[in-house]
Structure 1
Amino acid sequence: MSSFLASKRQVLVSACALATLTIVPALSHQAQAQAWPTARPITMVVGFPAGGSADMIARTIAEPLSKRLGTPVVIENVSGAGGTIAGQKVANAAPDGYTVFMASGSEVSIARLFNPAVKYNGETDFTAIGLVGDVPLVLVASPRAGLKTVAQALDKAKREPAALSYASSGVGTVLHVAGELLNQKAGTKIAHVPYRGAAQMAIDVAGGTIELAFFMTPTALPHIETGKMVALGVTTTARSRAAPQIPSLSETPALKGFDVSLWNGLFGPAKLPPAITARLNKELNEVLREPAVWQKLQKAGVETQGSTPQALTQRIRDEVQRVQSIAPAAMKSSS
């Protein structure tokens, strides 16, 4: 009998020890989240060099976010491979709230669908914190193409399949995705010509070397205003705040529901504690409401929104699903 009791006592001790091993890490993570942030700096990783639009957005957010959190937020530019080197760095980081990622849909949703070298999955390897805003794209035509509306462009593309080509800043970019989504929705086969950047695209559109191109709206507006490009439509369902005179592509019946933009959001590594995610989301949304931040981002063409982590997560899922449906055709058109 005593042997039985001893055995029973040993089982109970083992069970308690196992429960303790399970509970202690959970309590430790909870304690870390409650103590966050300490005086330790938070690193905000950006996948592009200093001076670019991604860097500008990050720096505009970082300073007021630092003040609200009471700890420094330091920008680290990790450029290369279209921002995916930075993405891998953040995916590999500890989920302790001291490494965050200012990223766009190109790095988070689109890159892995076009590039097998990208090993992280934006849906599972990051924690969505909140949306910063959207930058609409705009479809433009060369003045020498004789096109004034997107309906005219689509009509010509159907009548003369080899007559038109469109330029983007590269295979797998959001500009490329916009072009292939247009082909899919309109039933056209406008050929894709990838460029290395916007500067040469602008020269070739103005000179008539290429008939159509997708640009970031802030990049194209000066050329549109001087007559070097003809604006056919912005790629969001609503007209751009920066250029309300330009129609939305979705206003054309053949492109109803057309909606593509370059969004920017804040992310952490996967398994970021919910308490830290919630705090960062709250402070990010408050920063976006600050007049100085709002005005600077609006001037740069970023239409600020803010969001919940859940809404940003859903947006990524929707974008991946949409891009997956056109990725094979997009790769074929660029080969």
Structure 2
Amino acid sequence: MATIKDVAKHANVSVATVSRYLNKKGYLSKEAEQKVKEAIGALNYKPNSVARSLYHKTSKMLGLVIPDITNPFFPELARAVEDVALTYGYTVVICNTDEDIDKEKHYIEALKSKYVDGLIIATHELSEKDYLDLGIPLVMLDRTIGEAIPSVRSNNREGAKLGTKYLIEQGCQFIAHVRGPLTIKTAYDRYLGFKDVVDQHQTRHEIVESAFDIDESKQKILKILNEYPEIDGIFTSSDVMAVGALKATQSLGLHVPEDIQIIGFDGIPLGEMLIPSLTTISQSIYKMGTLACRLLIKQIEKKPLEELHFVLETELKIRETTRGE
């Protein structure tokens, strides 16, 4: 494999001249530029990306920090980020934290040490100050943490209102809400939207907390349905939780939607494949990812940001787990 010294020798110029050509810094005559260009082509020289990143303190790499790669919501986000990044010449490195603060710290420090150009954070175990102290471009995705860090998210509260209202319109009189972990603002906003509607309509309801996990959601729903067999509607904080709800109702011999109706939140492709297919509050997942990536690259390239925070609207997708289909 050719080295920078080989290029310099072939072009009959100094190593410093080749370095100026590669890094586009300093004066270089047209003659010297042409010699170096021809030598690189003749030797099929490939610059050492690690060395260049150390020199420039840049790597053309973006970090994407997500909480759970097994949740189908996040691979779809990641695909959108990657698609946009590649068009701008960036590579995306994905790190999965499992909502663990030590893992998140480890990955962020590792990414920063490799001179990653910016981070998209879809979890927030750290504080706003911790993120700002990193001193690199950041975007919060599907999360918000203060006004200083740009963000892209859905209108979670309004989306939850849509889903809860629809259950009531379809005749549900006792609704269970499976909310996400207390520490996650996304889950909290969906809980608030649910409460807005059931309180307004004075609808009987119960709330249980679960991780965004099929098995845990199933167990929590089994417990609440055994305690309150009269529950006739379930609104979950994610589609993954709704899969758990379906498994729970089926194991109890309940028919969906005749005996009990279910609405999820996210709009992941899996929901359409289920039998019965899942009624859900659909987010613009791909758009969220592309927006976040463009917002990050604008910061990296020091372009002005006309807007810091993007809130995308959600949509009710009516399928077979409710009676309106």
Q: TM-score range by the shorter chain?
A: 0.3 to 0.5
Tell which structure's C-alpha radius of gyration is larger.
Answer: 2
Return the TM-score normalized by structure 1. Answer: 0.43
Structure 1 or 2: larger helix share?
Answer: 1
**Structure with more contact order per residue of length (Cα contacts < 8 Å, sep ≥ 6):** 1
Return the TM-score normalized by structure 2. Answer: 0.44
